[in-house]
């Protein structure tokens, strides 16, 4: 896209200089300040705090994003469950907050419900609040621990790759080929409940994932980040990478699909590529329908 290329060109010189600074001797002292892995503490989730905060947060989300949450009855009433969602809206990711509130309201705050997040999220100033709602670092050990204890676990396999996709790919489910969630569900023999969201990519104008910039600055190796997004957002205009922004009040629609039993549908030794294609096709069909239903950007 011409505008995206122009933006890229403007920052290329600075990026190269920064990339040189990140490598070599600078990388070693920087490593002492990098976010470290924090094992999930399932006890940090606080049902009392969730009950107290839920009404006010739901009111705020309702006024700004006018959420329409459908199909919560597809989440099994008992036992461990893996909720798998497409990721939207950059750092703000409105579907994360909306689904936390909706699921906690529907299932009750006492039902164990955890979410996996990138380690940088859990090293942010808001980590204490996220942990109270059950957010733990996206790590296989944490996922195993939550499901082994019979919890509902929510994951977003697309991660930063999907959440910063260009706005014109809003109606595309794109996990970037990541299949770990399938093996996780199969290992623990738990149902997968797909969560499909639309509206998040309209909270700002996402121009590029900036994968080339992440490689240039070695963020993929240092911070486990494959992207340095290029976007236009309030109040910046051209937004600094990973800077919090004021999301446009885009209407968010979330739909939960029927549970998928991998063993029943694909056997004990599944073809993971075929299973991946099947799950994404189901989610894509729903997302395409939601896009057709949508009348106008932001307004919904």
Cβ contact 42:152 at 8 Å:
no
pTM of the model: 0.86
Q: Which two tokens stand for residue 92?
A: 């703000």
Q: How many residues does the chain have?
A: 300
pLDDT band at 123 (very low <50, low <70, confident <90, very high): confident
Residues 196 and 282: beta-carbon distance below 8 Å? no
Q: How confident is the model at residue 151 (pLDDT cuts 50, 70, 90)?
A: very high
Residues 192, 186 contacting (CB under 8 angstroms):
no
pLDDT of residue 221: 85
205-235 pLDDT, tens digit per residue, is: 999 999 999 999 998 888 878 899 999 999 9
Contact 110, 47 (CB under 8 A): yes
Neighbours of 292 (CB within 10 A): 9
Q: From CA 83, how far away is CA 124, in angstroms rounded?
A: 24
Give dist(CA 37, CA 99) in Å, integer: 25
What pLDDT is stored for residue 40 in this prediction?
Answer: 57
Which of 136, 181, 162, 140 lies closest to 227 in space, CA to CA?
162
pLDDT given for residue 11 in this prediction:
39
Q: Quote the tokens at residue 240.
A: 């600094």
- The pLDDT tens digits of the residues spanning 46-58 come to 999 999 999 999 9
Nearest to 241 by CA among 135, 130, 136, 160: 160
């Amino acid at each position: 896209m011409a505008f995206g290329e122009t933006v890229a060109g403007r920052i290329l010189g600075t990026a190269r200089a920064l990339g040189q600074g990140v490598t070599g001797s600078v990388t070693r002292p920087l490593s002492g300040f990098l976010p470290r892995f924090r094992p999930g503490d399932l006890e940090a989730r606080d049902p009392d705090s969730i009950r107290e905060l839920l009404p006010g947060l739901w009111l705020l989300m309702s006024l700004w994003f006018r959420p329409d949450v459908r199909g919560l009855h597809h989440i099994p009433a008992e036992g461990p469950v893996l909720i798998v969602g497409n990721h939207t809206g950059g750092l703000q990711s409105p579907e994360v907050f909306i689904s936390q509130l909706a699921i906690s309201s529907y299932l009750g705050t006492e039902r164990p419900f955890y979410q996996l997040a990138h380690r940088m999220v859990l090293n942010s100033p808001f980590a204490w609040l996220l942990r109270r709602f059950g957010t733990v670092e996206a790590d296989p050990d944490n996922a195993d621990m939550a499901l082994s204890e019979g919890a509902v676990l929510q994951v977003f396999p697309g991660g930063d790759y999907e959440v910063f996709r260009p706005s014109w790919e809003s109606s595309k489910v794109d996990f970037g080929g990541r299949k770990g969630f399938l093996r996780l569900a199969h290992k623990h023999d738990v149902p997968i409940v797909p969560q499909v969201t639309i509206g998040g990519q309209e909270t700002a104008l996402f121009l590029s994932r900036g994968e080339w910039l992440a490689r240039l600055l070695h963020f993929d190796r240092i911070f486990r980040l494959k992207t340095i997004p290029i976007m236009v957002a309030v109040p910046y205009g051209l937004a600094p990478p990973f800077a919090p922004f004021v999301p446009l009040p885009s209407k968010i629609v979330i739909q939960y699909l029927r549970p998928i039993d991998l063993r029943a549908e694909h056997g004990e030794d599944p073809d993971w590529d075929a299973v991946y294609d099947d799950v994404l096709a189901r989610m894509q069909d729903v997302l395409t329908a939601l896009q057709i239903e949508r009348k106008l950007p932001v307004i919904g």
